[in-house]
Chain A
Amino acid sequence: MTTPTPELTQASRASGVAFIFKKALISAFVALVLFSLMIGIRTEAGPTGELIYWTRFDDLATMVAIVFGGSIVVELLRQWWGPIATVAIVPPSVQTAFGVARRAIPPLLLICTVLVPVIFYDQRYVIDTGIQVLTYVMLGWGLNVVVGLAGLLDLGYVAFYAVGAYSYALLSTNFGLTFWICLPLAGILAALWGVLLGFPVLRLRGDYLAIVTLAFGEIIRLVIINWQSLTGGPNGVSGIPRPSFFGIPLTPGDDGLAAKLGIEFSPTQRIVFLFYLILALALLTNWVTIRLRRLPIGRAWEALREDEVACRALGINTTTTKLTAFATGAMFGGFAGAFFATRQGFISPESFTFQESALVLAIVVLGGMGSQLGVALAALTLIGGFELFRGFDQYRMLVFGMAMVLLMIWRPRGLIGHRAPTVFLKHSQAISSELAREGRG
């Protein structure tokens, strides 16, 4: 490619300014029409029950101005970044550097995580947030089996989380079973539901599968809401027993763990215990997933993700492959659900909405679909971000939705991790997301 002559650049820049300005004007006009009624007018049910409205033209003007300015900035950025050719194949030196970092990050991250309760022992808020993040890490890793490895888009993952939570809650409150008996039961029940869902949807692919799993998740939630005699309906289940340290309760009494160890009791001990519990559960999920990836079944999952037709042609039984993926993912969801129930002590259908499914899915997608480290970092980013901006709770889903759209446009293969098949012909080669997007990865 020849470099353009200076005069040409001048001319194109002049026309570029006009172009940018025109584009910004059009954007502003579109924004004006879009926002005119929704932002310009505010409706509310008045004191007598009838609807009243008032105008907010100043807000409208601000928004239109923001769109105008934003459009100019975006267009300038695009012109500035645009022509740079992307490096398609990552150079070997960078690859090795990445490789070292990739090997070094997980142990470092793990050590930091283990130390969190030690360092922040006095700050319950930090540990609570840590538990929250780890719960989502675990959910993300569980869903990663279904979405990241097997490539089945599951929009109803929260259903298995709910099954796990309600299994523990109902078994413990009705039959007095302890957490450690219920935990495997919750996992098994959730896995059964996973198979139950898996059977009918085996023939579906892609979008259809997504919608059916979404419907399934909603059905579970609606049944929980309406089956009041069993689940307590919208009021939920309360008084769920707290977990014990393998039979020894974490209470201030004489038979409590603190008394047995001869140390002073403090409520923080339970929080710390919960922290290590979820950490252990999450690590179990990770370990099982990594081991499964090396087994024929894991290979089959990845093959299924890459090409289902080729998979069938090679004699892989897609039925069992899909079902095991669903069951495994669901089982981890069930574990996480049981943990959620014991941590909260109270559960209600409100915790298991579609937004929750979408959040976990976003974690998997942001993490790069299939990368364990990526999912963990994505959960940390998203849940930590939500905690940081707690004051702006109102705008949470707006920002979340926008982030999802922008992510799909700019980095459809995830921000952090990358999707690498674990089996390769001659040598492993890291491929940048640009190529992966074109289907070459």
Chain B
Amino acid sequence: MDYFAQQLINGIVLGSIYGLIAIGYTMVYGIVGMINFAHGDIFMIGGFIALITFLILVSIGLTAVPVILLIVLLVSMAITALYGWTVERIAYRPLRHSFRLAPMLSAIGMSFVLINYSQITQGARVKPVPPIITGGYSLFNSDGFVVRLSNVQIVVVIATIVLLAIFTWLVSRTRLGRDMRACEQDQTMAALLGVDVDRTISMTFLIGAALAAVAGMMYLLYYGLVDFFMGFVAGIKAFTAAVLGGIGSLPGAMLGGLLIGLIETMWSAYFSVEYKDVAAFSILIVVLIFLPTGLLGRPEVEKV
């Protein structure tokens, strides 16, 4: 039971990270109707930016942890958002009216570019950082097994909840959110009614990348390392989360993220660590076969 409780905590933390990435996939799919294959690598770039900012801040003698975290968060969100915007501008916008598979192939190309770019600029080796947020609480203790809730885990979950609240407000209450929802339903009609479709799509990519940057930073805090290839597997898992929750649905992405995080953690805890990725990928296949609209998604009507 205690072991289960511990895994539950770990799963929720991991799920929060996946959920943040999954929102980027689901938003883009909802509006543009394409799988942003490079999104996982945007997450990786976010991790790197957070790492470098953190290093600089520490080396100039800043010691207040909350200040460091806030600056790292803002810098990595800002720069990574610009990466998301640039990727859309270069690789997706010219293809908006191209044939069906073109954006997907272009996204694969962009993914390779980003992976190789960070490999060349920052080296292929894993970059470890010392734990930034230390300490934690022992929740309860029985039979010598201590269930721990570390401060990092609290920070990750709280940051996720706060960001989700801001994001939900953004989508449901602001002008931008309304434009986004309008573009999702009908781009042509939205354009006729005075919505700047190009700008709205750009903003979608900006926001998605910013959330991925937060996920990257959380990953860095939680695992204490980044490497250039981490975006690939994390990206597929987050995409699985988006599909599981119902692609196009924002609460669904978060729910899917949590579920994938929990399933992965439980699988590692009770079955085998080696096959945890296999489990996640199998879920993707199974969900798409038996539940193609996901848990909270709307059925897609096939049009001629």
Closest 6 pairs between A and B when the two form their complex, measured CB to CB: A404-B109, A401-B112, A401-B113, A215-B281, A398-B116, A397-B116
Question: What's the least CB distance linking A344 to chain B, in Å?
Answer: 24
Question: What's the least CB distance linking A221 to chain B, in Å?
Answer: 10
Q: Which residues on B sit within 8 Å (CB–CB) of A365? A: 105
Q: Mark A218-262, 1 if CB is under 8 A from B, else 0.
A: 110011011000000000000000000000000000000000000
Binds A, one of B159-167, B190-198, B284-292: B284-292
Known A53-B52, A206-B104, A394-B120; 12 more pairs at CB < 8 Å: A34-B82, A34-B83, A37-B48, A42-B123, A44-B127, A45-B125, A51-B55, A206-B101, A223-B278, A398-B116, A398-B120, A408-B105
A to B CB contacts below 8 Å, 10 in the list: A206-B104, A211-B35, A219-B278, A222-B275, A222-B278, A361-B108, A394-B119, A395-B116, A404-B108, A405-B91
Q: Which residues on B sit within 8 Å (CB–CB) of A320? A: none
Pair count A-B, CB < 8 A: 183
Q: Which residues on A sit within 8 Å (CB–CB) of B126? A: 45
Binds A, one of B92-100, B210-218, B251-259: B92-100
- With an 8 A cutoff between CB atoms, is A109 at the interface? no
Residue ID in chain A nearest B108 by CB atoms = A358
- With an 8 A cutoff between CB atoms, is A122 at the interface? no
- With an 8 A cutoff between CB atoms, is B1 at the interface? no
> Which residues 28-66 of B have a CB within 8 angstroms of A?
34-35, 45, 48-49, 51-53, 55-56, 59
- With an 8 A cutoff between CB atoms, is B102 at the interface? yes
Given A53-B55, A309-B302, A405-B113, residue A437 in contact with residue B99 (CB < 8 A):
yes
Does B128 contact A34, Cβ atoms closer than 8 Å?
no
Q: Mark A192-218, 1 if CB is under 8 A from B, else 0.
A: 000000001101101110111011101
Q: Which residues on A sit within 8 Å (CB–CB) of B236? A: 211, 214-215, 218
Does A33 contact B79, Cβ atoms closer than 8 Å?
yes
- With an 8 A cutoff between CB atoms, is A265 at the interface? no
**B122 partner, pick from A42, A226, A402, beta carbons under 8 A:** A42
B interface residues, Cβ below 8 angstroms from A: 34-35, 45, 48-49, 51-53, 55-56, 59, 79, 82-83, 86, 90-91, 94-95, 98-106, 108-123, 125-130, 232, 236, 239-240, 243, 272, 274-275, 277-278, 281-282, 284-285, 288-289, 292, 302, 304
Does B128 contact A49, Cβ atoms closer than 8 Å?
yes
Measured CA separation A262–B94 after assembly (Å): 64
**A53 partner, pick from B59, B106, B117, B302, beta carbons under 8 A:** B59
Does B116 contact A44, Cβ atoms closer than 8 Å?
no
Does B95 contact A409, Cβ atoms closer than 8 Å?
yes
Q: Which residues on B sit within 8 Å (CB–CB) of A219? A: 278, 281-282
Measured CA separation A45–B225 after assembly (Å): 11
Question: What's the least CB distance linking A404 to chain B, in Å?
Answer: 3
- With an 8 A cutoff between CB atoms, is A17 at the interface? no
Residue ID in chain A nearest B103 by CB atoms = A408
Residue ID in chain B nearest A38 by CB atoms = B121
Does A30 contact B292, Cβ atoms closer than 8 Å?
no
Does B289 contact A203, Cβ atoms closer than 8 Å?
yes
Q: Which residues on A sit within 8 Å (CB–CB) of B243? A: 208, 211
Measured CA separation A153–B304 after assembly (Å): 20
Question: What's the least CB distance linking B280 to chain A, in Å?
Answer: 9
